[in-house]
Amino acid sequence: AKRIVLAARPVGEPKPSDFRIEEFAVPTPGQGEVLLRTIWLSLDPYMRGRMSDGPSYAAPVPIDGVMEGEAVSEVAASNNPDFAKGDIVRARTGWQTHAISSGKGLIKVDPKLGPISTSIGVLGMPGMTAYTGLLDIGKPQEGETVVVAGASGAVGSAVGQIAKIKGARAVGIAGGKDKCDYVVKELGFDACIDHRDPDLAAKLKDACPKGIDVYFENVGGAVFEAVFPLLNPFARVPVCGLIAHYNDTEAKPPKWAASMMRATLTKRLTFRGFIVSDFAARHGDFLRDMSAWVREGKVKYKEFVTEGLESAPGAFMGLLKGANFGKQLVRVGQD
């Protein structure tokens, strides 16, 4: 068996030497335990936060600890009456090929809802983040304009498509022409702009002739600076992620904090940060709606797969820079 541990806390961008691959004997499940064989590992931007020991909503991975993450696994052996050999489950077992579980936190995956990988993608945590952040905080109304960056990614792609289902105008922001073409032509957004375009602010303004009513914040940085002046009175900003800043080594002084606060007051803006687990009570609604939308072709998704556990560090470093085109997954074992 193999696992990837945190070898060092990154300073700025993570680098290969911050990770270490180790071999270990496949463990034997004890009384009440199951042995899990990992099939799919999800890589997600929040893992950058777990690599640092600064203040956060969750504890960091310890040095030499297995990198955290959610995976879809097969029950390879079971001493737990609730799980049978061959069951497909998802759990936070981390970056490793095998894991032991007491059964706590283990969730059975219903293969009837879709391919099992979707339980950590569009029908899992990223999909739920899009659904709750947009509907419970963003509250898009018919005819309003919703803007989201990372528009070809796991969360952003679902945000724009749900906005369309609710009758809003969806404007995406993504890195490069291929991603923008996909977002408009395949996902049905009304427009998509490359965030590396030097005319980002002007092009965004053209794409949002009636201003912005909901800005689903995934990135921060230059994108936020282009969005902010276009926010309409009573606009809502679900603050979901700030990927442009995850590798920052120091807090940047708030250059325009005063004008931002003035606009928040005069335009009566709502900014609300959230972590998807805040909305755990909405999981049933999410799964019902999202699985129906996926089945009906109203929400499409794209997976970006790298092969083998060894590929995880490189794939994760790429994810922070836009090397992924779709939900980043690692195929750790065969289905």
Q: State the residues that interact with ligand NDP by CB under 6 A.
A: 44-46, 126, 129, 149-150, 152-156, 174-175, 179, 195, 218-219, 221, 223, 240-241, 243-244, 274-276, 319, 322, 324, 327
Please give the structure tokens belonging to residue 91.
């759990």
Q: How far is the CB of 2 from ligand NDP (least distance, A)?
A: 24
Measure the CA dihedral 275/189/223/11, to 10°. 50
Nearer to ligand NDP by C-beta: 91 or 315?
Answer: 315
Per residue in 289-303, is it b (16+ CB within 10 Å) or e — as a string?
A: bbbebbeeeebebbb
Contact 255, 224 (CB under 8 A): no
Q: How far apart are CA 281 and CA 25, in angstroms?
A: 39
Nearer to ligand NDP by C-beta: 80 or 161?
Answer: 161
Nearer to ligand NDP by C-beta: 84 or 202?
Answer: 202
Nearer to ligand NDP by C-beta: 194 or 310?
Answer: 194
Nearer to ligand NDP by C-beta: 35 or 287?
Answer: 287
Nearer to ligand NDP by C-beta: 58 or 107?
Answer: 58
Q: Which residue has the tokens 């283990």?
A: 106
Bridge partners, 98 (sequence order): 37
How many helices (H) and strands (E) would you count in the chain? 9, 15
Please give the structure tokens belonging to residue 331.
């195929």
Q: How far apart are CA 194 and CA 196, in angstroms?
A: 5
Q: How far is the CB of 20 from ligand NDP (least distance, A)?
A: 24
Q: How far is the CB of 241 from ligand NDP (least distance, A)?
A: 2
Q: How far is the CB of 80 from ligand NDP (least distance, A)?
A: 29
Residue among 213, 212, 275, 193 nearest 241 (CA): 275
Q: How far apart are CA 317 and CA 320, in angstroms?
A: 6
Q: Please list the helix, strand and coil fractions of the chain in percent, rounded to the nearest 5, in that order.
A: 35, 25, 40
Nearer to ligand NDP by C-beta: 75 or 330?
Answer: 330
Q: How far is the CB of 16 from ligand NDP (least distance, A)?
A: 19
Please give the structure tokens belonging to residue 329.
């997954």
Q: How far is the CB of 71 from ligand NDP (least distance, A)?
A: 15
Q: How far is the CB of 148 from ligand NDP (least distance, A)?
A: 9
H or E element: which one contains 49? Answer: helix 47-50
